[in-house]
Amino acid sequence: MPDEKYAKPLPVPSPEARRFWEGAKNHELWLPYCRPCAKSYWYPRDFCPTCGTREVEWRKSTGRGRVYTFAIQYRAFHPGWNDATPYVTALIDLDEGVRIFSNLVDVAPDPKALRCEMPVEVVFDDVTDEITLPKFRPVAS
Amino acid sequence: MTDGCDRAGWLKRIAIVGADESDEIGMVPHKGVLQHHSEAALNALEDAGLTLSDVDGLFTCGAGFAASLQVAEYLGIQPKYTDSTSVGGSSFVIHVEHAAAAIANGLIDVALITHGETGYSNRFRPGVGRAPMDPWFPSSQFEAPYHIGGPPSSYALACTRHMHQYGTTHEQLAEIAVATRKWARLNPKALMRDPLTIDDVLSSRWISYPFHLLDCCLVTDAGGAIVVTSAERAKDCKKKPVWVLGSGEATTHWTLANMPDLTTTPASISGPLAFEMAGVKHTDIDVVGVYDSFTYTALVTLEALGFCKPGEGGAFVSNQRTAPGGDFPMNTNGGGLSYTHPGMYGMFLLIEATRQLRGECGPRQVPDAKLACVNGTGGALSSTGTLILGAD
């Protein structure tokens, strides 16, 4: 259930990223894709940052990937996060070949429970009526 | 010579002739950012035997929007050339290359590079500090909602991967904190001068795993400035010149998700540029100053610069090799870890290298230091500037 008192910073979807945030609200992970390069890229732009073409489109991700790296945050730099420490930040290498930043959830914020290359899948956190944040949780390999 | 593209053409034609901090550094709640800029500027010009009226190029950042305009007016100068390149802690090292290019091409004679920040005291003055980011920018949309949590957490993400890939240990990181503190104990201007052990580092509280508190730099108030000029003009200055023998800068990303390889830094690009331009080998270097926002920053920079191979940084710094008396003197002022770190530390690498090459460092002087390598790192391991500096 959305938390009406959500006090953490929220994204403000930009025009070129609106499809991503609409997708998240529908519990789908959508990535920008370059047709000439035949690969996804991150983050959303109306052109491909590798080749410069505007021949780009949106494709739905499997939502599966691996943890490239992680860190455990013991300090909050925003009052909304004061009660959330420690929490886990991570870079996820999605199966589509892009790396995105997110939080790891459903796992102890403990170095013993976390490792680089652990397989993960997307979960959708409906933080308000308007915004859903894609996050990731470990899955059995 | 109008060899704008002949990088080697700078050789021995550009010199640092003045360098100093602001009057008080550390915890200075009674002074503001522009006071640090101006005190440091006047001190560095005095050190050079020059005055504000000699300055025709100003290089600075971190003093709000249009920093060079703000600082120029505060200093009471109307320079014909200004540069507010703002790429984080590496900015001031990169300003040296920009100033050298402007001097070598005859656009200016005397470049003043200034820094001033009140990183410590900002916490007592609501509203002071860096401007908020546009909410539509990628960092606002794709990092802030997950609370990336400031510099410690970005560098922590890189460090975790380095540990995974190469087996780098907490103990190896702590070696750097301990060695750097030993240098700080020899520097009266250093904020942290108490003895420090590896166990102290490992038992300090977590800030952002894999960083303990004592893996992280200080947050202080400080300013610094240096004066750069031509070989011709350097002859009239008060002290012997410190030559800019080689330089390089590199930029790879802003958001960490777009960093090409988290286990290195852009110094793997800027380092070879600087070494090649100077025509010197790593084994020729007498004293090294690398940005140490975190112990890991220093470790990975040594690899990126080529002082050791990728993944060998941990072994390289072991057994207090970088401490006083070790065979690799590094961060001899006590670094961002123990001397001062107001937010963008690069300026202080330049001041210390200049002092070492002039032989001004007293008990922490590296004997007969003739060649220094300096590397500033900015952003989230995003930007680097490397310099090879030399004394006659």
pLDDT digits (tens, 9 = 90+) for B52-79: 999 999 999 999 999 999 999 999 999 9
Instruction: Report the C-alpha gap between B297 and B91 in whole angstroms.
Output: 16
B225 in A contact zone (CB under 8 Å): no
pLDDT for B341-383, tens place per residue? Answer: 999 999 999 999 999 999 999 999 999 999 999 999 999 999 9
Q: Are B265 and B380 in contact (CB under 8 A)?
A: no
What pLDDT, on a 0 to 100 scale, did the predictor assign at position B280?
Answer: 96
Query: For B211-240, what is the mean pLDDT?
Result: 97
Write phi, then psi, for B20 (nearest 5 degrees).
Answer: -170, 160
Among candidates A14, A70, A133 on the partner chain, residue whose Cβ is nearest the Cβ of B157 = A70
pLDDT at B121 over 70: yes
Among candidates A100, A117, A133 on the partner chain, residue whose Cβ is nearest the Cβ of B145 = A133
Query: For B29-41, what is the mean pLDDT?
Result: 97
Among candidates A68, A102, A117 on the partner chain, residue whose Cβ is nearest the Cβ of B146 = A102
pLDDT at B7 over 80: no
What pLDDT, on a 0 to 100 scale, did the predictor assign at position A2?
Answer: 54
pLDDT at B3 over 70: no
What pLDDT, on a 0 to 100 scale, did the predictor assign at position B125?
Answer: 87
pLDDT for B286-331, tens place per residue? Answer: 999 999 999 999 999 999 999 999 999 999 999 999 999 999 999 9
pLDDT at B209 over 50: yes
What pLDDT, on a 0 to 100 scale, did the predictor assign at position B215?
Answer: 98
| pLDDT confidence bin for B1, thresholds 50/70/90 | very low
Instruction: Report the C-alpha gap between B10 and B94 in whole angstroms.
Output: 15
Residue by residue, pLDDT tens for chain A (141 residues) are: 555 689 999 999 999 999 999 999 999 999 999 999 999 999 999 999 999 999 999 999 999 999 999 999 999 888 999 999 999 999 999 999 999 999 999 999 999 999 999 999 999 999 999 999 999 999 986
| pLDDT confidence bin for B9, thresholds 50/70/90 | low
Q: Are B331 and B351 in contact (CB under 8 A)?
A: no
| Helix ranges restricted to H, chain B | 33-48, 67-75, 91-104, 138-142, 151-166, 170-184, 198-203, 231-234, 267-278, 295-305, 313-317, 346-358
Neighbour order of strands in the sheet with B14-21:
B81-83, B57-60, B110-118, B221-230, B14-21, B242-251, B383-390, B371-378, B287-290
Angle at B156 between CA B118 and CA B133, to 5 degrees: 50
pLDDT for B154-171, tens place per residue? Answer: 999 999 999 999 999 999
What pLDDT, on a 0 to 100 scale, did the predictor assign at position A101?
Answer: 98
Angle at B283 between CA B281 and CA B284, to 5 degrees: 70
Nearest-neighbour CA in chain B from A64: distance (Å): 17
What pLDDT, on a 0 to 100 scale, did the predictor assign at position B2?
Answer: 40
Query: For B130-137, what is the mean pLDDT?
Result: 88
Inter-chain residue contact B256 with A91, CB threshold 8 Å? yes
Q: Who contacts B281 (Cβ-Cβ below 8 Å, separation ≥6)?
A: B275
What pLDDT, on a 0 to 100 scale, did the predictor assign at position B222?
Answer: 98
Collect all residues of chain B within an 8 Å Cβ-Cβ radius of residue A84: 147
When the pLDDT of each residue in chain B is averaged and rounded to a whole number, the result is 95
What pLDDT, on a 0 to 100 scale, did the predictor assign at position B148?
Answer: 87
What pLDDT, on a 0 to 100 scale, did the predictor assign at position B4?
Answer: 44
A104-113, B105-114, B141-150, B305-314: range with lowest mean pLDDT = B141-150
Which A positions 32-61 lie with beta carbon below 8 A of chain B?
A: 42-43
